[in-house]
Structure 1
């Protein structure tokens, strides 16, 4: 029996083998997550590089140029550092080799969160000035560039908190009826009071982000209220369109009766009915009705409102408003998506330790979904949402189209030279 007793060294060696097997079995279960993160990083790398090139070198000079350029840099950082680091972390999930890798990952994650929401706040402020204060001061291009640099520096400073707190965390679990000690990337064990470290992280990292998110949501609430009020006025004007059309047509008919006394009441009704039919089917008549609502109904103003130049002016104003509303809604959707992703990440972080204790007992689909939403939801959104906005931008699409046409033309030229 004495020969069968294991020395402390052999016991440690056997335990390390079990730890490797435990980690390898976990890697097999979350292999789909690594594939998803890898594909996202590959697509996001190309797309965000395109966003950086277009908004940095080809786009017209404006404040949005710098905001989207900065978001493209954040997305590129996610694709080149954060997502590959997440894949590496999953490969060594329960056998984490070095604490500096965990600290680097936590620092980059904290930096991208703070910087991303700071830029989204600046975009919300810009939308507010354009929608609610269109005739007051606006964020100019130079100001947008300087604000982007300032928020980047501030984010680098505030992100040191998660980088300092994170590190190696060891705990015991059971695998094949053997108690093993695994090491994961979490709050470092060097902080004896781990709850204090978490509160410290929330105070210096979570509080600034929470304030930024709260202010951003308040700004968008004011913007939506403004759009709602404008929409209500538009709806009210549409309700008055028929009566305004009748009154204006009656005045025009009175003018015509001075020169043409042979127009009957039936003819007048037919003219009114034709005009009302045109109002329902023509956008120009809609602009005419809007002009009638803006200006008092009189014979001279109605005649002036019917001029094509005024209709073009009204159409231009409506087009600007629709463009402003569309861009605001797109950025609002992106902001809400980022906020939801962050909330999901922190909610899942509260149960992450329990999942780590029973990782192999959790169903594969649930485990993969947990890892994707906990570790990668925010990174994936940051990597892809500049593309979403870029695709919706007409100028961005035109530049991409020009690049494709030039690329095809150069290829055709090379083929002709080769054939010659």
Structure 2
């Protein structure tokens, strides 16, 4: 009876610490709750639309993989973090820390790997259009490889993290939270793990910056060439035009596989008779591909091509690439921006373990929120899809009309 009473007093004492801590970090808890609701609903819709309504393609496969990882974050990881903040001194004793930390690390690594793979795929499509492009099957293999490698890199999290002791004002009563395990807290392993994680993030970010810089440079060149074609067409109006188009890149403007043609790696127009490249766009497994066949364009065909290219150029006076590329760039930017505060805090804490000890009030709230900033990415991605993808918005509208029994129009 005495042991039972002592245990009840022990738990009641720690509950008071739970309540005081939860009150201080309440804004962070509410913010994560909103991310959970928005992210889970949004990513569920993304999975439904891209799996059921859109044709299979490499880009769609990558987006589905990202949505699944984001669903795991919103359905498992964020609720765990909310519970860990609400019951900071008692939640770790339920034994979920190591498993959840492993899942969180795996999802983080896998999302970064998929985003890097998307950047490589975009680079090949725009800057190397006539090389062999990834198919739907290749994309599935790439996703599998990314997942396996991510699990390998994340596996140390199941060892390094666990129950960490939290002291209270009573030296006889200690709580525990989900953080660095006590047996590793005084070793170099947490620092090595966090340092490796930060290094991989920096390396991935640099690769993304380089790849998208090359892509945007190529798009700028295309815009310059289109302006020259337009000027040449104006000068030689009514005459036969011989414009050597050295290469065409075919871009995917829509998940259904709608093809659009743009010019890449081209030479300035010339009046000399040369072999021209006629454009043949076709869709294979939802992916646009291109073929080159030498031909000589007559005046009417050449004028039609020039008008098409000039119209496409003038319709994009803001020099912006296709919506798919813009959407993927935005997803990459949000991923990097949301991960930076989290990794910066972890790196700082690895260097100085006492730097955040004892913080209270608004500083504690900000720290708790920034330490989990990478969750923002999981809730933001569906919003980005809806903002950038007309076809995605259309399918959502059809789904809403179907659910509410409204006539589709």
Q: Distance in 1 between matches of 2:177 and 2:395?
A: 46
Corresponding residue to 2:378 among 366, 382, 386? 382
Q: Distance in 1 between matches of 2:391 and 2:366?
A: 37
Aligned to 1:186: 179
Q: Is the 8 A contact 1:75 1:386 kept in 2?
A: no
Comparing 133-142 with 389-398, greater Cα deviation is found at: 389-398
Distance change in 2, residues 1:317/1:152 (3 Å): farther
Distance change in 2, residues 1:231/1:315 (3 Å): closer
Q: Distance in 2 between matches of 1:79 and 1:9?
A: 38
Structure of larger gyration radius: 1
Q: TM-score, normalised by structure 2?
A: 0.73
Q: Distance in 2 between matches of 1:296 and 1:405?
A: 56
Comparing 145-154 with 16-25, greater Cα deviation is found at: 16-25
Corresponding residue to 2:269 among 277, 291, 294? 294
SS of match in other structure, 2:183: coil
1:81 matched to 2:79? The reply is no
Aligned to 2:213: 221
Distance change in 2, residues 1:380/1:129 (3 Å): same
Pairwise mapping of residues 18-417 of structure 1 onto structure 2 (< 5 A)? 18-98=13-93, 100-172=95-167, 174=169, 181-191=174-184, 193-200=186-193, 202-203=195-196, 205-231=197-223, 237=228, 241=231, 294=269, 296=271, 304=300, 307-308=303-304, 310-312=306-308, 315=311, 324-350=321-347, 354=354, 357-359=357-359, 362-364=360-362, 366-375=363-372, 377-408=373-404, 410=405
Q: TM-score, normalised by structure 1?
A: 0.71
Distance change in 2, residues 1:323/1:60 (3 Å): farther
Which has the larger strand fraction?
Answer: 2
State the Cα deviation string for residues 64-98 of structure 1 (Å, max 9, x = none): 11111111101111111011001111012233432
Which ranges in structure 1 are unaligned for 5 or more consecutive residues? Answer: 1-6, 253-286, 288-292, 414-420
Distance change in 2, residues 1:104/1:294 (3 Å): same
Q: Is the 8 A contact 2:195 2:347 kept in 1?
A: no
Q: Is the 8 A contact 2:323 2:389 kept in 1?
A: no
Comparing 102-111 with 67-76, greater Cα deviation is found at: 102-111
Moved over 6 A (4+): 7-16, 317-323
Which has the larger helix fraction?
Answer: 1
Q: Is the 8 A contact 1:166 1:186 kept in 2?
A: yes
Q: Is the 8 A contact 1:213 1:339 kept in 2?
A: yes
Q: Distance in 1 between matches of 2:316 and 2:57?
A: 16
Which ranges in structure 2 are unaligned for 5 or more consecutive residues? Answer: 240-261, 263-267, 274-296
